[in-house]
Copies of this chain bind each other. A is one copy, B any other.
Amino acid sequence: MSAPSPSTASSSASSPHQRLLTLWGEIRDFAGIEELLEWDQETTMPRRGVAGRAKALGTVAAAKHARLTAAELVETIAEAAAAAPAGSVEAGQAAEARRQVERAVRIPARLASELAEARALGQAAWQEARRRADFAAFEPHLARLIALKKEEAAVVAPGGNAYDALLDVYEPGATSAALNPLFTRLRGELSPLVKAVAEAGRPVDEAPARGHFPFAAQRALALELVAAIGFDLEAGRLDGSTHPFCVGINPGDVRLTWRWQEDDFRPALYGVLHEAGHGLYEQGLPPAWFRTPLGDAVSLGIHESQSRLWENQVGRSRAFWQWALPRFQAHFGSTAGLEQLWPTLHVVRPSLIRVEADEATYNLHVLVRFELEKALFAGDLSVAELPAAWDDLYAEVLGVRPANAAEGVLQDIHWSMGSFGYFPTYTLGTLAAAQLFAAAERTCGSFAGSFAGGDFSALLAWLRSNVHRHGSTLRPAELVERATGKPLGPEDFMTYLRGILQAIYQL
């Protein structure tokens, strides 16, 4: 089987549905190539390759965009939709293709290509700026990216809310109007909890989590754990990068990245479990739908629900550690017991770095970014004012103030990639993780026994069946409601969190 060019596809006598899949396959191939090029840039590429890589990414983005907006595709979708029985998979494929095409046709090829190149240059500048804690070196790139994304929002949703137009890419159907009350409620419930922990005066002894954890042992343990939860290492890898992430190049090639420090095992281990949760979703997408409109994940929020679930509901549970502890002890030569180690995984303490934040403060980190993004896109905040605004908001919401831009506004990769409206999906995912896990236990019974025996297959099977196998047939809100029996809300997350804090801090 070959991947025919568009002209081959159009001249064949196959059905509109078949022609749609042929055209879509190429689009998905280019998306996978973009993922690989970006992964390579972050993990492997020599420093001086940046300019050439930016050109290549621009060309791939333009090629993908040209195919996504080609008249031939628009016509084929219409024909496929007309020919498909209502409610059939074929109708779903055509509908999902149309949704994506309708957004893309509004974006001119020039803008798509400029964005791709600005992202490549922006990422390189960010890496260097972060290393030197020098916001000024990143500022012009960020300004350029925001200008281009404002342009994108204006053509995609003329006259509408610019920020919502960007949010919709990551979380179809989400709006800042709907998110505002959710974040307000979370802040209202989380702030007193965080304060109560501080006032409880029962600090966790973190000694068992600190010491010397050699890189090679951390890597060996991480690989052992991700394999145990079901991540297929023959269809994936783990490599170092400045910022951990996961790419699904294709279902047989899912790559996790991580970073590590040798004086504390927790940041690396939970980073890897988090990315492996994403990876399990990518590896679990329906293989028969690979290279079709319905073959990818529902949304970033649902993607994040999978990473948070494996990181927190599984990886920080007592049951998981009943199984993992001997492995931990063997890899690090540690003699720490469960009662010493487990509390160190739930330390609540306002801090500066989102990806290393605890479960109680994490959503407050997201809230800071959500507020700043809204202000940037509403024109209420300039890029020059951003670092100070960041620091002030951290001081106000979390009570801590960054000492420099590397531990402040430069900490995350997202903005350097032109990803605005992405951060709120972290909170949506965190809430969905708790809600999905609670629903899975209602169906399957408590997982504690199987986790303690190192068996995670029942949970993975439930997620495969209720989340992964759907591809993108459902909208995020619909998927959560079907899988859990109720709309997405903060209740299960708050119940989970209060349970943890009660166990650790006797709140």
Contacts and interface: CB of A to CB of B under 8 A. Distances in A.
Nearest to A43: B44
Identify whether the interface residues of A are mostly helix, strand, loop, or mixed: helix
A250 interface: yes
Nearest to A235: B48
Interface stretch (A76-84, A107-115, A165-173): A107-115
A90 to B, nearest CB: 21
Contact of A33 (B56, B62, B290): B56
A406 to B, nearest CB: 22
Interface string A113-146: 1100100000000000000000000000000000
Number of copies: 2
A372 B348 CA distance: 70
Q: Which of A2, A46, A253 has the most CB of B within 10 A?
A: A2
A452 interface: no
Contacts of A50: 252
A227 to B, nearest CB: 13
B114 A234 contact: no
Interface string A33-52: 10011001000111111111
Interface string A1-29: 11111011000000000000000011001
Contacts of A55: 3, 25, 29, 250, 291
Q: Which of A29, A51, A254, A290 has the most CB of B within 10 A?
A: A29
26 contacts: A3-B58, A3-B59, A3-B113, A4-B110, A5-B66, A7-B109, A8-B110, A29-B56, A29-B58, A29-B59, A29-B60, A32-B52, A33-B59, A36-B36, A44-B44, A45-B253, A46-B234, A46-B237, A47-B234, A48-B235, A48-B253, A49-B250, A49-B253, A52-B249, A52-B252, A55-B291
